[in-house]
Amino acid sequence: MGHPFPIREIARQAGLSEATVDRVLNGRGGVRESTAREVRQAIADLDRQRTQVRLVGRTFMVDIVMQAPERFTTAVRAALEAELPSLRPAVLRSRFHFRETGPAGELVRILDRIARRGSQGVILKAPDVPEVTAAVGRLEAAGVPVVTLVTDLPASARRAYVGIDDRAAGATAAYLMGQWLGRRPGNILTSLSSGFFRNEEEREMGFRSAMRARHPERTLVEIAEGQGLDATQYDLVRAALERDPDIRAVYSIGGGNIATLRAFDDLGRDCAVFVAHDLDHDNTRLLREHRLSAVLHHDLRQDVREACHTVMRAHDALPPAGPTLPSAIQVVTPYNMPPQAAV
């Protein structure tokens, strides 16, 4: 396993002992395959963060823990690594713990492991459930500041939430939907990846409240628990379309939009208006193809920068600041896509 990094750096990046890393690198056996994968991932992360590894300055090792589809975690990783140079003279190094789905207990084990081995901070996207809230409390008690990203855990001991005002985002989606549907008849499909993510719940409430106030004649049909994954989303959408022949529009709160559109296509149904969230690779392509009407987007680079600054403030590396303000909500159409949109 060729690499240019000292064993101590790999061990720090992986959160393992130097002896364990040495056994993996030299093929001495007695190491689980999952541990070997962690070593390989640490080397890959170090290679991407090569410019940070050799810098001299106060170093912050931050753990990024997220439950989200791969398309979104890829966007977050790219945003963070693009922001690293802007944090100098501080040196920020990151370890990534990404998963698409699974029980909350797995996330809790990751968070507790970080609390035991130490970290300068955790940036977290997780479902709002009591066991995760308790794990955040244990991290803070261990001196590890936690910042929630994109979706909040308001009852937890986290230092700050970084992201948009999700109720305002849902109300914005309702406004656009009402304007674009006009007087055409049709019901609206609302799609959540999971009812346990606070941001999706808030978006749904904002959307439902604004639709009830402005367009009480519209029927909203909700599906949930597709986890934002195309494999599970397709069946949920197809079943909803087969039950309700009047669905004509979609507000996608949790993703899986390629599968959603494929279900419409396979049944020969037209989707007159489709509002989604986040300008990831999938949504960028769908927007360019005019399959989406609009994407409600926010600047991930700005968000991860603010999350990193919050961690640094927790260690008195930056002066105190006021409360974190919500990120700006951008309404992106095929005609005003930002230059940095994913390709």
Lowest average pLDDT, out of 67-71, 79-83, 84-88, 209-213, goes to 84-88
> What integer best gives the mean pLDDT of the chain?
91
Looking at residue 136, its pLDDT comes to: 98
Of 35, 55, 75, the one marking the end of a domain is 55
Same domain, 194 and 247: yes
CA–CA dist 85, 91 (Å, integer)? 8
Q: 113 and 19 in one domain? A: no
Query: Residue 1: inside a domain, yes or no?
Result: no
Same domain, yes or no, for 110 and 202?
no
Residue numbers of the domain that contains 219: 166-297
**Are 191 and 273 part of one and the same domain?**
yes
Whether 337 is in a domain gets the answer no
In a domain? residue 334? no
Supply φ then ψ for residue 123, to 5 degrees.
-105, 120
Q: In 47-181, which ranges are E strands?
A: 59-67, 91-99, 121-125, 146-149, 160-162
- 244 and 195 both lie in a single domain: yes
One domain, residues 228 and 309: no
Token duo for residue 162: 């970084």
Pairwise CA distance, residues 329 & 278, whole Å: 10
On whether both 189 and 230 belong to a single domain, the answer is: yes
Whichever domain contains 263, its CATH number is 3.40.50.2300
Look at residue 15 in the predicted model and tell me its pLDDT. Answer: 78
Task: Tell me, yes or no, whether 181 and 147 share the same domain.
Answer: no
| Domain annotation covers residue 335 | no
Q: How far apart are CA 92 and CA 108, in angstroms?
A: 24
pLDDT in tens, 28-46: 777 888 888 888 888 877 7
Which two tokens mark 310? 């919050």
Instruction: Dump pLDDT digits (tens) for 295-335.
Output: 999 999 999 999 999 999 999 888 888 888 999 999 999 99
Asked if 282 contacts 71 with a C-beta cutoff of 8 angstroms, the reply is yes
CB 318 within 8 A of CB 121: no
Within a domain: residue 205? yes
In angstroms, the CA 76 to CA 133 distance is 22
User: Predicted confidence band at 50 (pLDDT cuts at 50, 70, 90)?
Assistant: low
The four Cα atoms 252, 337, 80, 308 give a dihedral, to 10 degrees, of: -80
Here the CATH number for the domain that contains residue 37 is: 1.10.260
Residue 63 pLDDT exceeds 50: yes
Number of domains in the chain: 3
**Both tokens of residue 62?**
């931050």
Highest mean pLDDT among 86-95, 196-205, 225-234: 196-205
C-alpha span between 15 and 322 (Å, rounded) = 33
Q: How far apart are CA 276 and CA 153, in angstroms?
A: 23
Asked if residue 332 is part of any domain, the answer here is no
Q: Tell me if 339 is assigned to some domain.
A: no
pLDDT in tens, 101-140: 989 999 999 999 999 989 999 999 999 999 999 999 999 9
β-partners of residue 124 are 65, 148
